[in-house]
A and B are shown apart, each in its own frame.
Chain A
Amino acid sequence: MKKGVILLWRTLVYSAFFQLLFDFPGAVYSLVPGAVTALVLSTTKVSDLMLIDYTAYRSPLRRIEGLYKLIFFLFCLLLSISRVSGRFSLSLFLFQAILMIGPGKVPLKRYLRFLEAPVMFLLMGAIGIALELDVFPLTVSVSQASFFRAQEVTRTALCAISCLYSLSLSTPLNQLMQTLRKIKIPERMIELMIVLYRYIFVLFTMYYPMKRALIMRGGNNLRGHGMLWSSLFKRSYERADHSMRSMLSRGYDGSVQFLSVPVATARGLLPMLVGMALVLAGAWLL
């Protein structure tokens, strides 16, 4: 029963989203891709967004020099937000998806799952843009202009998100940090990112056993979760204290510096240039 409701809900959400994106002649056409996406998502148990990190670590694209990837995806991002055309945005989104699912070896189901959260946000934002509210007399309407505005914003945003996802799914965070160092991002910011990144996982390793224990003890309710979060806060504070002690014992003097495994050669210049030429050609043609 619960699964059926989720499937129906997803079908409706994705159908609305596809209608908004592709502007099908009848709403019924969008039901087909909507239902297919909902079905694909219902067959996967992947629910952990931490998988983004794992996917990047396993991606064959991680071997490409981080700087080239950063330049390429930021170039795509800039083109996508410069709103060349709606068709270009969609094509660039599909290009990013194909790049990740093909050479990036990201399973389709996982890729769709990753996109699920932004899709929900985009759809809610689109509704907000499309609806026009009049107070005297109280009317809520959708004009053609507001619908097109919502459509364009959604296409642009989806395209931009897919560019950032491509960067995240092909670049492990340590590689990204090195790249940021190369382009002289302030050291403090990078250190903060390193510590935050590490702490996300430390928090998760504490959170999951605590949650399991909570469920086992029948406390899977609001009060139980409140206790869990307050306990998690206290324990994370203790952990921070321990980590600080550990850093001091290893000679920490205020700066967090690492050395990475040496990479043989900077690979990926040619694919990056070809990719940029393709995207530029797309922008010109579409």
Chain B
Amino acid sequence: MTEKRCVLEAKDLVFSYETTPNVIRGISMKAFPGERIIFLGGNGEGKSTLLYLLAGLFPPESGAIEIDGERVDPGKDVPPHLRKKTGFLFQESEDQILGATVYEDISFGPMNMKLEEEDIRSGVEKAIEMTGLEGLEERPTHYLSGGEKKRLCLASTFVMEPKILFCDEPFNSLDSSMKEKVENYLWDYSLKGNTLLLATHDVDFAWRFATRILLIHGGQILLDQAPEDFFQHKPLLEQVNLPMPLLLSLAETMGCKGRPKTLEEFIEEQEKNRHRTGALRDHV
């Protein structure tokens, strides 16, 4: 059987800020096509820094990164053909927006890729449609709401059609309906076989969305498992102050045997549980 080719590989990454040494301490990992990898951990544990390192936005002190099988030279910028394969959704939308209008901002990335004008226009229109920004093309970016700004950032990332998408706290300061929309966009993007790497505090989202969860603590990976296994390590999670997902805790408290990821699954589990306890009562 042939081994699946990894799209991103990090080997022994070490990184320090001038003011904070050893923010990342020897992290190695691999990411494969279609994976949805979530970095969980507290504030200041190095999640965002790790994302920056993996995306080649920070040069590591030591260690190496390979994007789609090609090694990124340490201390050098990621070459354009590799840059096209990665996209980054930043925590603060304001940091990401550069264009005066929505249309202009989305076109910035493809223009840097020196694509043909027709291709750029069709890509921009596709990204606008994908993120529901129709009708806002000419709007100045500073008159957008928080949710619209986040969608614009997504559109400007999607337009590059990156194989690997990095997201730093993608739901930062979004209301619940906008969170749902952004989550759906990320689902759609992942289902096309792209790889997603996200840093978040949201354990409920990690539980239902991830294919793999990495626990980052003190600049190291403490756990790297599928969500079903990850949340079995209760003592360790308690130690690093990471709560259990709400639906999982509720299901366990109510004595359900299954491990529901969505509300529908939870209701189904509860129904099963009611039948089971009813049958047991009848039997007694």
Q: Do the two chains belong together in a single complex? A: yes
- Using a CB–CB cutoff of 8 Å, the interface residues on chain A facing chain B are 53-54, 57, 172-174, 177, 194-195, 197-198, 201-202, 205, 239, 242-243, 245-253, 255-262
Residue in chain B with minimal CB distance to A177: B100
Residue in chain A with minimal CB distance to B80: A251
B83 cross-chain contacts in A, Cβ below 8 A: 248-249, 251
- In the bound complex, do residue B84 and residue A251 qualify as a contact, i.e. CB atoms below 8 Å apart? yes
Distance of A250 Cα from B88 Cα, bound (Å): 8
Query: What are the nearest 9 A-B pairs in CB distance?
Result: A251-B112, A242-B95, A174-B100, A258-B104, A259-B107, A249-B88, A201-B142, A250-B109, A257-B111
Give B57 Cβ to nearest chain A Cβ, in Å. 5
In chain B, positions 85-135 with a C-beta closer than 8 Å to chain A are 86-88, 90, 92, 94-101, 103-105, 107-109, 111-113, 117, 120-121, 124
> 20 A-B residue contacts at CB 8 Å?
A173-B100, A174-B100, A177-B100, A194-B100, A195-B98, A197-B100, A198-B141, A201-B142, A239-B95, A242-B92, A249-B83, A249-B87, A249-B88, A251-B83, A251-B112, A253-B80, A253-B112, A258-B105, A259-B121, A260-B104
Identify A53's interface contact among B113, B121, B140, CB under 8 A.
Answer: B140
| Chain B contact residue count (CB 8 A cutoff) | 43
**B156 on interface, CB distance cutoff 8 Å:** yes
Give B71 Cβ to nearest chain A Cβ, in Å. 18
- In the bound complex, do residue B90 and residue A258 qualify as a contact, i.e. CB atoms below 8 Å apart? no
Give B184 Cβ to nearest chain A Cβ, in Å. 23
Distance of A53 Cα from B156 Cα, bound (Å): 23
Distance of A201 Cα from B124 Cα, bound (Å): 24
- In the bound complex, do residue A245 and residue B52 qualify as a contact, i.e. CB atoms below 8 Å apart? yes
A242 cross-chain contacts in B, Cβ below 8 A: 90, 92, 95
Given pairs A242-B92, A246-B88, 16 additional interface contacts (CB within 8 A): A53-B142, A54-B143, A201-B141, A202-B94, A205-B94, A245-B95, A246-B95, A248-B57, A249-B83, A250-B108, A251-B160, A257-B108, A258-B100, A258-B107, A259-B124, A261-B138
Residue in chain A with minimal CB distance to B90: A246
Residue in chain B with minimal CB distance to A252: B112
**B216 on interface, CB distance cutoff 8 Å:** no
Identify B98's interface contact among A54, A173, A247, CB under 8 A.
Answer: A247
Give A187 Cβ to nearest chain B Cβ, in Å. 13
- In the bound complex, do residue B142 and residue A256 qualify as a contact, i.e. CB atoms below 8 Å apart? no
- In the bound complex, do residue B112 and residue A198 qualify as a contact, i.e. CB atoms below 8 Å apart? no
B98 cross-chain contacts in A, Cβ below 8 A: 194-195, 198, 243, 246-247, 256
A173 cross-chain contacts in B, Cβ below 8 A: 100
Distance of A146 Cα from B136 Cα, bound (Å): 54
- In the bound complex, do residue B101 and residue A261 qualify as a contact, i.e. CB atoms below 8 Å apart? yes
- In the bound complex, do residue B117 and residue A259 qualify as a contact, i.e. CB atoms below 8 Å apart? yes
Identify A259's interface contact among B77, B103, B142, B160, CB under 8 A.
Answer: B103
- In the bound complex, do residue A258 and residue B108 qualify as a contact, i.e. CB atoms below 8 Å apart? yes
Distance of A57 Cα from B124 Cα, bound (Å): 21
Distance of A81 Cα from B185 Cα, bound (Å): 56
